Every structure is written in C-alpha cells, then in structure tokens.
Amino acid sequence: MKINKEKLIELLVDKTNMEKVEVEEQLQQLIQRIVDAAERGKALEIKEFGLFYFNESGDLTFDPSKELSTEINFKYAGMEPVELKPPRDSASGDAVAATDEKEEPTSKTTKPAEESKPESDTDEDDEGLDDIFGLDDMDEDDEEITAEEPEEEPVSKRPFETPADKVDREDDPFSGLLGDASSKLSASDKGFKEESSDSDDDEVPPFPFIKDSKKDKGTEEPVDKSTEKVPEKSSPKTPKKSSPKVPVKVEKAPAPKAQKTAKPKTSSKPRRDPVMVVISVVLVFVLVAAAFFVIPGLLEESEPVEAPVETPAEEPLPPTEADATNVLEPVEPDEEITVEEELVEEALYGLLGELVDDANDGFSIVLHSFRQEDVARIKAAELAADGFRVLVSERTVQGQTVWRVSVGQFPTIAEAQERAGDLPSPYNTDNFIQRIQTN
Amino acid sequence: MKSTFIKAFKEVLREQILNKNRVEIEDLGIFEVVHRKQHQKKYENGRVVMIPPADVVEFQSKVRSSNEN
C-alpha cells in the first residue's frame, strides 16, 4: 500500500488532533528543516527514527535508527552472519562478528589453563556461551575457586612465592601462625619444626604416605576429619581428634593458609616437607568442597533454559483464550531463578510481575489487538491476573485505531522472541514483538 | 515546530513502514521496506560468510544538495 503525502497528512491529523492546515504547515516545516540542515552539511536526527543528511554524492540519505531497523527486522532478530569458510591465510583476527563470538569462548578456556591467576571475570559471561559450552563451565568453576582464594589472602602468599626460599622461611610464617593458634601448640610445633629441618629422615617418610593415602583412597581417618571440617569451620575442632603433630598444622592452615600453598604445592612435593604436604592435602579437599558449593549454583543457571520446555501442560490456566492450554507455571520458575542470577537485569525486564517504567525502552510481546479499548482492557486485566506484565498500547493500523495487548518487557527483540516461545499454547506461535511506546 | 507533531510524525511513519507500506513524501523522499535475501559474502582472502536475511528500510530521494550543482 502506498502512503502519499495526502494520506500521510490524514494520518497525522488523526494522530495529533491538529487541524489539517496546521499539520500541512508543520510537515512542510519539518521537511524544510531536514533539507536545510543537510544543506549545511549537518545531519538532522529524529530520535528513535533516523538521520537525514546528504551523502557524498549529494543525495539526501536516510539512515534508520537502531530502534527502527531492529524493529523492522524483528522477524530475523538474532540471526548472525555465519562463517562458512575461514580465510585462506591465517589472518584470523578482525573480521566478522560471527567469528568473534566463536573465538571468545575458546580464548577464555585457554587463558585460565595458561595462567592460574583468574581475574574472576568469568562469572558474568554470556549465558548463551555457558549454555553452548557446558564443559567450559566446569573449567571456569575451578578457576573461580582458585580465583577466590588469592583474593582472601594475597599477602600471605608471598613467603612461598619462590620455592627456593620456602624451606628457609617456613619457620617464620608458621611460628606466626602458631602464635595465633595457641601458645601450647606453638611450643610443640617449634620442637617439631626443628626436627624436621634438622633430621629429615625421621619425619619425612610418614607424611608423604599420609598424603598419598589421602589422595588416593581418602581412608586416613584423622586427616579426613580435619579436612571435612575445614570447609565448614576452619579452626577450632580439628586438633583434638587427630594426632598432635599433624592436626596442629592443619589447624594453622585452615582457610587462608590453604591458598598459599596453591602454588608451592607442586614444588613442595618433591621436597617432602611434611608441613607442606599436609597443607596441600587440606587445600585439595577445600577445593573439592568449594567445587561442590559452586557447581550446584551453575546447574541452576543452566536449568532455566530447559525447565520451561519440559514442564508445559502441567497446569492449564483458565483465563486467556478458548484453545489455550495455558501454562504460566513453567515460566515462573524460570523467572525466579533468573532473578537471583541477575538481579539488576531481571528486575528491570521480564515477562512476569509488575510493569517497570525504566524497562519501557524495550520490547513487548503482542498477544491481542482490539478495535475497542475496553475489550483490550478486559483482556489485559485477565493477563495481569495471570501474573504477566501487561501493556496496552494504542496504535494506528491502516487508518484504524487498535489497542494492542502485550506482555513482558524485554531489552532485546531476540530475548522477547525467546520468551514468546515459552508462552502458553495459542500465544507461543501467534504473537509478534513490538517496541514499547509509552506515549 | 511542535514537538508533538514530530513525535506524531515519526510514529506514523514508523507504523506505516512497519506495515510494509511505501511512504512517499514529495519534497523529501520515499520510505520503503526491502527484503534482503540470505546470501553468501565472499571475501578476497577466501573467506565465505553467510549473511542472514533481513528487512531493511530503504530511502530514495530526489532531493539533491544544492551546493554541488
């Protein structure tokens, strides 16, 4: 259908309730202003619409704004260029978005392997990547764990940084620790240390054994107890239950110490310092325990994607439409979980809950379109009763005013489309996305 | 020029463009939605990228800069 200037003016009159003459005049002014600005070599921008300017060859050009072009292209939202063949030469770097996306995750996974000092930025990686590269999650977890540790006590690491110094300095850090723990222990420990430093023969062999058995089988009782408790409560109980020498060290090393040994661990084994061995073993268990805490968290993250797909059809919802075998429930858990994950993002945008004014720069899923406002309001109330964020917006379609009932507020069209698929039966296929307009 | 008018103007145009209507404004130009098919883009270095389909706004105008003429 063609809209010529005359028709356009009609539409504008409807929209603005201004007199036709006035609209014509205003339109003429606007056009004049666009051209004038362009003549002056400037671009006139109509916000959320586009940019008018003269291009290099002197033709008036219009660049649609991002909002407009994404809205028009909503059918294909989220489709990215895909690289079919890589460039012949290995000049991989700068090219296209599609490849960039693929490169990111790999680089993330490789970096940690090289450097064990994670900056812990991995947390907030794109969900998409996490979903796709499930295995990488595991790697990242480990990194995160190690990442947490250095944060806790970066300073204490230093004495151990160079393996050569380690032996010499051992006395210092531990004596300090002993002092902290208790005076009695310190006394006994000092005696022990002297032994260890002076006569390696006696002390060294037993501890490596302990270490080995722990690592391999985890059978040694005293050590197990101590390690179990370490994650929960670091200091108090461990020493009593286990033999004097070993436990004392465990106690000293609880949380903070364990991290120090992260690096030295490998180097200490060859030296067979009993202290280091015990600490390293404790560290291993702490890591494992920490992994248990972190991993479930990640599992939760991945669930929301699957959950809504599996669960539909459990609870039919009465209100919406005749055909509807509506399922609101599957969506809700999804929502709740994501809320926990990204408080800011989800609080702002989402399918369910209350409308958020700040989220009105986003997109919404249109489910109904009515000629009459009151009908639209009724339907909106029904949907709101089901827990959706409902918007009613007035639009003019082919000269007729319609009232669109839409649900949800989403930052991107792609996200809106994704969530639209989770909607109950008639809606998940019969909908479209529109940009939210508040005025 | 009233801001309400500009707002109405861009909304009307947006709606019309979204409805795939061709909007012709004399003195300014023609707005039209054009569908771009999916296609392969071949680079000189042998790289081939599949470009997804897209709907885009096209604007044609007879208005030319008077500076150049």
Looking at CA atoms only, how far is residue A104 from chain B in angstroms?
18
| Separation between Cα atoms, residue A414 and residue A422, nearest integer Å | 13
| Separation between Cα atoms, residue A62 and residue A35, nearest integer Å | 12
| Separation between Cα atoms, residue A254 and residue A229, nearest integer Å | 9
Q: Where are the domains of chain A?
A: 5-64, 155-289, 348-435
pLDDT in the model for residue A396: 74
Low-confidence ranges of chain A (pLDDT < 50): 91-269, 302-342
A41-50, A412-421, B36-45, B60-69: which is most confident: B36-45
Residue partners of A129: CB distance under 8 A and separation at least 6: A104, A105, A136
pLDDT in the model for residue A377: 92
Residues in A touching B53 (Cβ below 8 Å): 76, 79
From the list A26, A34, A95, the residue facing B28 with the nearest CB is A34
Residues in B touching A397 (Cβ below 8 Å): 15, 19
Residues in B touching A71 (Cβ below 8 Å): 14, 18
CB contacts under 8 A, A 376-415 vs B, are 395-398
ipTM for the complex?
A: 0.87
Q: Which residue of A has its CA nearest to B1?
A: A26
CB contacts under 8 A, A 209-268 vs B, are none
Q: How much of chain B exceeds pLDDT 70, in percent?
A: 94
In this complex, do B43 and A80 lie within 8 Å of one another by their Cβ atoms?
Answer: no
B35 pLDDT band, cuts 50/70/90, is very high
Looking at CA atoms only, how far is residue A58 from chain B in angstroms?
5
Burial (CB < 10 A; 0-12, 13-18, 19+), residue A276, is buried
From the list A12, A84, A95, the residue facing B12 with the nearest CB is A12
Per-residue pLDDT, averaged over B12-36, amounts to 88
| Separation between Cα atoms, residue A16 and residue A30, nearest integer Å | 15
Looking at CA atoms only, how far is residue B66 from chain A in angstroms?
7
- Domains, chain B: 3-60 (4.10.520.10)
Residue range A66-120, pLDDT digits in tens: 888 888 888 888 888 888 888 876 544 444 444 444 433 333 333 333 334 333 3
| Separation between Cα atoms, residue A211 and residue A229, nearest integer Å | 17
Give the residue from A1, A85, A88, A413 with the most B CB atoms within 10 Å of its CB, the best one to mutate. Answer: A85
| One-letter amino acid of A261 | T
pLDDT in the model for residue A291: 84
From the list B24, B31, B69, the residue facing A5 with the nearest CB is B24
pLDDT in the model for residue B17: 87
In this complex, do B56 and A73 lie within 8 Å of one another by their Cβ atoms?
Answer: yes
Q: Which residue of B has its CA nearest to A67?
A: B14
From the list B6, B21, B65, the residue facing A1 with the nearest CB is B21
A348-435: CATH architecture? 2-Layer Sandwich (3.30)
Burial (CB < 10 A; 0-12, 13-18, 19+), residue A115, is exposed
Q: What is the pTM of this model?
A: 0.39
Q: How many CB atoms lie under 10 A from the CB of residue A70? A: 18
Residue range A258-296, pLDDT digits in tens: 444 444 444 444 556 788 888 888 999 888 888 887 776
Looking at CA atoms only, how far is residue A23 from chain B in angstroms?
8
| CB-based contact A41:B2 (threshold 8 Å) | no
pLDDT in the model for residue B48: 92
pLDDT in the model for residue A345: 52
